[in-house]
């Protein structure tokens, strides 16, 4: 008997071992439990990047999917000492004096309607700015704006299928130009909405294309037409009531608000033909005078989400105070425009008939906010009030599945779901509230997100994770499309202040301006003693000579607001004013090596007016010693 | 034997000499085929660091390796430090030309002389390489941050050095050179066998013992 039990136990053990060993699999493989589907083995990589906007943190958060691991933060509109962003002269200038932004909508650059992995655009709503992040190094390289005449760019940036344009539209209507003195009660007469098309060059540089004067509604979200609808940009709005106070009541009365359809080629042509008025430094088109550039389609009840399906045929608007998604047909829209079948004009903008353009109404549920698509002909709509995601079929317009999320979902993101070819494996639900989902941390709760598997017929909740305030929207891209640099090649460093060896290190002064040309390499700065006088303005130009992966050097000055992070092969410049005489140490603030603690130096500040040599070089002997402390035969 | 050495080549023998010459002429491998590679791994370098030695220079993660080596006070490794890179390509070319010349003037002794010279050269280069490795591992800066026991990196094979695992292996260049070198004895052996066989067949027909 005992022997039998022993044998049975052995059999169970063998079976358990077989099952366990049979479960070793690639990251995010289909089949298995939710835990297995999100488990990425130590040392392995995720298959997708998720770029989540950081809301009023002003940043972008990067996550790996399916593991939902936080990877990094890309500082965009807010200074970030961890990466030295907003401290060195270049990034400080880019921030333009603002220390916060409200980053809502990441928009990955596209080629032929597909994510190409070059850049990520993101808007700063309150300051009407658009940033461009280079995905070669996950670093913000350009901040365009504030865009003139736009009060808060919410419907932004929403790149077109070949990244010809990114867009902005005013969430708050205001007088144009914005410095015009006006009374709020003259809202209808004096206030205007504005839509702006910002051109993007092949290098990614942004420049003003055109602006269109719109009725003073609140312009909400946008999406680019693609395929047959390429060349059009669509916008939702609320407050077509044109209320200027107690908006929650007064802007929610009308049964219909609008979707605006902008023919951006026609708008650009009109500007190029000189039909625009220059207002606030931007070429503004007035639909009262210039026809054929913009149309309005009535849309039920304060629509929020504005989403064109992958084939570019259907334009879906989510009426957030209605339980339906209104689907418009681009064909019908064109037919109505060609037939000039307009119900009326609002401030020069022709209004089409709802029924002429409508294809279907999809009864998704309460509080529909945003829709994205997979590659199999399904659409997914977030339901704020129901705290759910609804899955529905494009074409038959049936709702086929629903799943609970936690709680109060805003935007959602399907893998490459905003493109012409969504990969559609995963959906990320971005929730406004998390309440009880995670370890409690007091009244300021984290936001929450859920990873949902879309590979089966039914949606499956895989993972639930907290996020730092406050992701509004995210975009998910296949990891294979992004090939970031590992280091900056020193040979390609063209910074005018770069020096490439300790022999070139020096401190130069002209009047009260001092330029220190420094190198950082494991584990010293050259020079490491710098003499200045009180009242001098010192520019430290630090080049990190490393060409080894992940060997960042910091440059922090004690009792100051100065800290830079210089990546391998990079040169950065920071300004410091020597206010008082005395000794001020500086040090490497990024742990770099075994002798990191020794990587430091002193700023010797003499009394104001002390005569100091025009050029200081570190002692020759020291340079020889530290020429990477490497002796030659 | 003397008769053999003073003789001229058979056609097949001559072909092989030309092959050896072409292999030796650096045109074929200098810029592309490394003669030696050393690869180093440490916990924080899972991708490994590589040193690749060519006949005329040394390439790879030199800067990173030098930066790391300075902690233990090793000499900086720079291509300029090695006179070998200045004479090695020329010498290889010289031996190649010598083999060609031997085939051209059709004299065996010239080929044998070249082969012996080449052998001496190879032995010298190995000795020299070993000396360098010894030098780098023993002549350490006394002021280095990390004091290590003197060591010798592996000439060929595997060794653990501090936190680094090191593999050192000949590259395709050396394999080709080895092939050219081996052609010497192989051809010699083929020829001797052929001669013996022809001598035997002559003896058979004439009816005298060979």
Reduce the DSSP state of residue A553 to 3 states and report it. strand
- A621 at the B interface (CB within 8 A)? no
Q: How far is A601 from chain B (nearest CA, A)?
A: 18
Cβ contact, residue pair A546, B75, below 8 Å = no
Q: Is residue A625 a contact partner of residue A553, using CB atoms and an 8 Å limit?
A: no
Cβ count near A23 (within 10 Å) = 13
Confidence band of A19 (pLDDT split at 50, 70, 90): very low
* Closest B-chain CA to A626: B70
- B138 at the A interface (CB within 8 A)? no
* Dist CA A630 CA A544 (whole Å): 17
What 3 state SS string does B62-93 have?
HHHHHHHHCCCCCCCCCHHHCCHHHHHHHHHH
**Mean pLDDT score, A118-138:** 98
- B43 CB neighbours in chain A (<8 A) are none
Dihedral angle sign, alpha carbons of residues A277, A280, A282, A287:
negative
Cα separation of the two ends of chain A: 80
**Mean pLDDT score, A570-597:** 95
pLDDT at A441: 95
Q: How far is C-alpha B48 from the geometric centre of its chain's CA atoms?
A: 25
Q: Is residue A584 a contact partner of residue A602, using CB atoms and an 8 Å limit?
A: yes
Residue indicated by tokens 């001229």: B8
**Mean pLDDT score, A505-526:** 94
- A522 CB neighbours in chain B (<8 A) are 67, 70
* Closest B-chain CA to A551: B64
Q: What are the tens digits of pLDDT across the range A426-481?
A: 999 999 999 999 999 999 999 999 999 999 999 999 999 999 999 999 999 999 99
* Closest B-chain CA to A630: B76
In this structure, of A40-54, A345-359, B75-89, the range with the lowest mean pLDDT score is B75-89
Q: How far is B161 from chain A (nearest CA, A)?
A: 17
pLDDT at A344: 95
* Dist CA B114 CA B105 (whole Å): 14
**Mean pLDDT score, B198-205:** 76
Complete DSSP assignment for A7-57? HHHHHHHHHHHHHHHTT---TT-SSS-HHHHH---TT---SEEEEEE-BTT
Angle between helices B84-105 and B11-24 (to 10 degrees): 160
pLDDT at B30: 62
- A521 at the B interface (CB within 8 A)? yes
Q: What percent of chain A has pLDDT over 90?
A: 88
* Dist CA A219 CA A294 (whole Å): 14
* Dist CA A565 CA A552 (whole Å): 7
Cβ contact, residue pair A522, B67, below 8 Å = yes
Closest Cβ opposite residue B76 in set A521, A547, A632: A632
* Closest A-chain CA to B132: A633
Q: Is residue A201 a contact partner of residue A192, using CB atoms and an 8 Å limit?
A: no
Cβ contact, residue pair B76, A595, below 8 Å = no
pLDDT at B72: 86
Closest Cβ opposite residue A595 in set B73, B78, B145: B145
Q: What are the tens digits of pLDDT across the range A226-267?
A: 999 999 999 999 999 999 999 988 888 889 999 999 999 999
- B146 CB neighbours in chain A (<8 A) are 594
- B198 at the A interface (CB within 8 A)? no
Angle between helices B108-138 and B84-105 (to 10 degrees): 170
Q: How many helices (H) and strands (E) does chain A have?
A: 9, 43
* Dist CA A59 CA A102 (whole Å): 8
- A595 at the B interface (CB within 8 A)? yes
Confidence band of A21 (pLDDT split at 50, 70, 90): very low
Buried b (16+ CB within 10 A) or exposed e, A597-624: eebbbbbbbbeeeeeeeeebbbeeebbe
Closest Cβ opposite residue A632 in set B69, B81, B146: B81
Q: What percent of chain A has pLDDT over 70?
A: 94
- B66 CB neighbours in chain A (<8 A) are 628, 630
- B141 CB neighbours in chain A (<8 A) are 629, 631
Interface residue of B60, B67, B138 to substitute, partner A, most A CBs within 10 Å: B67
In A332-470, DSSP assigns E strands to 342-346, 349-352, 358-362, 368-373, 378-383, 388-393, 399-404, 409-414, 426-431, 447-453, 460-467
Confidence band of A310 (pLDDT split at 50, 70, 90): very high
pLDDT at B31: 64
Mean pLDDT of chain A: 93
Q: How far is A541 from chain B (nearest CA, A)?
A: 22
**Mean pLDDT score, B19-41:** 81
Cβ contact, residue pair A548, B64, below 8 Å = yes
pLDDT at A292: 97
Q: How many helices (H) and strands (E) does chain B have?
A: 6, 5
Burial (CB < 10 A; 0-12, 13-18, 19+), residue B105, is exposed
* Closest B-chain CA to A521: B67
In this structure, of A85-94, A153-162, B64-73, B112-121, the range with the lowest mean pLDDT score is B64-73
* Dist CA A221 CA A209 (whole Å): 19
Q: Is residue B173 a contact partner of residue B33, using CB atoms and an 8 Å limit?
A: yes
Q: Is residue A521 a contact partner of residue A596, using CB atoms and an 8 Å limit?
A: no
* Dist CA A322 CA A20 (whole Å): 49
pLDDT at A93 over 70: yes
pLDDT at B27: 61
In this structure, of A80-84, A105-109, B162-166, the range with the lowest mean pLDDT score is B162-166
Q: How far is A546 from chain B (nearest CA, A)?
A: 8
Dihedral angle sign, alpha carbons of residues B103, B109, B112, B113:
negative
Which B-chain residues 89-118 have CB contacts (< 8 A) with chain A?
none
Q: How far is C-alpha A100 from the geometric centre of its chain's CA atoms?
A: 14
Phi, psi of A240 (to 5 degrees): -75, -10
The closest alpha carbon to A164, from A236, A80, A264, A254, belongs to: A264
Confidence band of A24 (pLDDT split at 50, 70, 90): very low
Closest Cβ opposite residue A630 in set B47, B66, B145: B66
pLDDT at A632: 40
Phi, psi of A10 (to 5 degrees): -60, -45
pLDDT at A18 over 60: no
Residue indicated by tokens 């020193």: A490
pLDDT at A14 over 70: no
- B81 at the A interface (CB within 8 A)? yes
- B66 at the A interface (CB within 8 A)? yes
**Pairing of β A232-238 and β A165-169:** unpaired
Cα separation of the two ends of chain B: 15
The closest alpha carbon to A102, from A473, A435, A444, belongs to: A473
* Dist CA A397 CA A388 (whole Å): 18
Sequence-distant contacts of B161-169: CB under 8 A, at least 24 apart: B162/B72, B163/B42, B163/B43, B164/B40, B164/B41, B164/B42, B165/B40, B165/B41, B165/B42, B166/B38, B166/B39, B166/B40, B167/B38, B167/B39, B168/B36, B168/B37, B168/B38, B168/B39, B169/B36, B169/B37, B169/B38
Buried b (16+ CB within 10 A) or exposed e, A370-405: bbbbbbeebbbbbbbebbbbbbbebeebebeebbeb
Residue indicated by tokens 């401030």: A347
- A628 CB neighbours in chain B (<8 A) are 66-67, 70, 76
- B76 at the A interface (CB within 8 A)? yes
Dihedral angle sign, alpha carbons of residues A50, A55, A60, A64:
negative
Cβ count near B118 (within 10 Å) = 23
Cβ contacts below 8 Å, chain A against chain B, sum to 40
- A296 at the B interface (CB within 8 A)? no
**Mean pLDDT score, A520-534:** 93
Q: What is the pTM (predicted TM-score) of this model?
A: 0.87
């Amino acid at each position: 008997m005992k022997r039998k039990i022993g044998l049975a136990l052995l059999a169970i053990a063998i079976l358990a071992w077989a099952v366990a060993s049979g479960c070793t699999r690639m990251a995010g493989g289909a089949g298995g439990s939710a835990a297995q589907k999100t488990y990425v083995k130590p040392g392995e990589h995720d298959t997708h990047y998720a770029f989540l906007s950081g809301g009023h943190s002003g940043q972008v958060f990067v996550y790996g999917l399916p593991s939902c691991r936080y990877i990094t933060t890309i500082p965009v509109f807010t200074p970030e000492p961890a990466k030295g962003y907003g401290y060195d002269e270049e990034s400080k200038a880019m921030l333009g004096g603002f220390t916060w932004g409200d980053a809502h909508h990441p928009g990955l650059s596209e080629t032929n309607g597909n994510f190409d992995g070059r850049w990520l655009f993101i808007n700063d709503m309150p300051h009407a700015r658009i940033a461009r992040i280079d995905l070669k190094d996950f670093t913000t390289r350009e901040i365009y704006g504030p865009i003139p005449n736009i009060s808060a760019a919410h419907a932004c940036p929403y790149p077109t299928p070949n990244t010809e344009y990114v867009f902005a539209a005013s969430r708050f209507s205001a007088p144009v130009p914005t410095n015009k003195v006006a009374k709020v009660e003259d809202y209808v007469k004096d206030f205007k909405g504005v839509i702006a098309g910002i051109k993007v060059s092949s290098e990614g540089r942004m420049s003003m294309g055109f602006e269109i004067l719109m009725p003073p509604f609140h312009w909400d979200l946008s999406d680019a037409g693609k395929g047959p609808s390429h060349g059009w940009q669509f916008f939702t709005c609320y407050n077509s009531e044109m209320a200027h106070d107690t908006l929650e009541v007064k802007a929610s009365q009308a049964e219909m608000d609008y979707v605006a359809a902008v023919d951006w080629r026609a708008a650009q042509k009109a500007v190029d033909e000189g039909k625009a008025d220059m207002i606030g430094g931007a070429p503004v088109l007035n639909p009262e005078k210039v026809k054929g550039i913009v149309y309005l389609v009535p849309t039920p009840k304060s629509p929020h989400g504005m989403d064109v399906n992958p084939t570019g045929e259907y334009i879906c608007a989510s009426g957030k105070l209605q339980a339906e998604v209104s689907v418009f047909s681009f064909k019908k829209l064109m037919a109505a425009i060609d037939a000039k079948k307009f119900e009326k004009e609002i401030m020069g903008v022709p209004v089409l008939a709802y029924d002429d353009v409508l294809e279907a109404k999809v009864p998704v549920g309460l509080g529909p906010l945003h829709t994205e698509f997979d590659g199999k002909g399904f659409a997914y709509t977030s339901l704020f009030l129901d705290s759910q995601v609804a899955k529905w079929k494009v074409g038959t317009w049936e709702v086929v599945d629903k799943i609970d999320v936690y709680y109060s979902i805003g935007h959602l993101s399907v893998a490459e779901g905003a493109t012409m070819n969504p990969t559609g494996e995963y959906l990320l639900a971005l929730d406004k509230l998390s309440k009880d989902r995670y370890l409690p941390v007091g009244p300021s709760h984290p936001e929450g997100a859920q990873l949902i598997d879309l590979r089966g017929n039914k949606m499956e909740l895989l993972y639930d994770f907290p996020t730092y305030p406050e992701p509004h929207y995210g975009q998910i891209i296949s990891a294979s499309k992004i090939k970031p640099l590992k280091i900056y090649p020193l040979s390609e460093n063209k910074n005018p202040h770069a020096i490439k060896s300790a022999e070139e290190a020096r401190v130069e002064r002209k009047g009260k301006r001092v330029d220190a040309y420094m190198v950082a390499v494991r584990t010293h700065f050259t020079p490491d003693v710098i003499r200045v006088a009180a009242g001098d303005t010192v520019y430290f130009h630090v080049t990190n000579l490393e060409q080894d992966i992940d060997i960042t050097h910091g440059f922090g000055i004690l009792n100051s607001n100065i800290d830079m992070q210089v990546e391998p092969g990079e040169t950065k410049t920071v300004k410091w004013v020597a206010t008082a005489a005395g000794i001020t140490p500086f040090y490497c603030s990024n742990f770099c090596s075994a002798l990191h603690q020794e990587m430091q130096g002193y700023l010797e500040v003499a009394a104001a007016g002390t005569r100091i040599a025009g050029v200081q070089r570190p002692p020759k002997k020291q340079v020889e010693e530290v020429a990477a402390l490497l002796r030659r035969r | 034997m003397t008769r053999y050495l003073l003789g001229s080549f058979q056609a097949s023998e001559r072909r092989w000499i030309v092959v050896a010459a072409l292999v030796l002429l650096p045109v074929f491998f200098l810029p592309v085929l490394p003669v030696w590679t050393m690869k180093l791994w440490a916990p924080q370098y899972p991708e490994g660091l590589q040193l690749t030695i060519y006949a005329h220079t040394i390439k790879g993660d030199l800067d990173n390796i030098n930066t790391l080596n300075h902690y233990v006070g090793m000499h900086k490794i720079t291509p300029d430090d090695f006179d070998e890179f200045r004479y090695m390509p020329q010498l290889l070319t010289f031996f190649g030309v010598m083999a060609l010349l031997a085939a051209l003037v059709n004299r065996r002794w010239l080929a044998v002389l070249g082969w012996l010279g080449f052998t001496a050269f190879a032995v010298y280069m190995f000795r020299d390489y070993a000396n360098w490795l010894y030098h780098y591992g023993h002549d350490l800066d006394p002021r280095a941050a990390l004091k290590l026991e003197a060591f010798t990196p592996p000439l060929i094979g595997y060794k653990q050095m501090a936190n680094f695992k090191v593999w050192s292996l000949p590259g395709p260049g050396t394999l080709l050179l080895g092939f050219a070198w081996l052609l010497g004895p192989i051809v010699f052996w083929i020829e001797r066998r052929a001669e013996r066989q022809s001598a035997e067949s002559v003896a058979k027909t004439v009816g005298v013992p060979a």
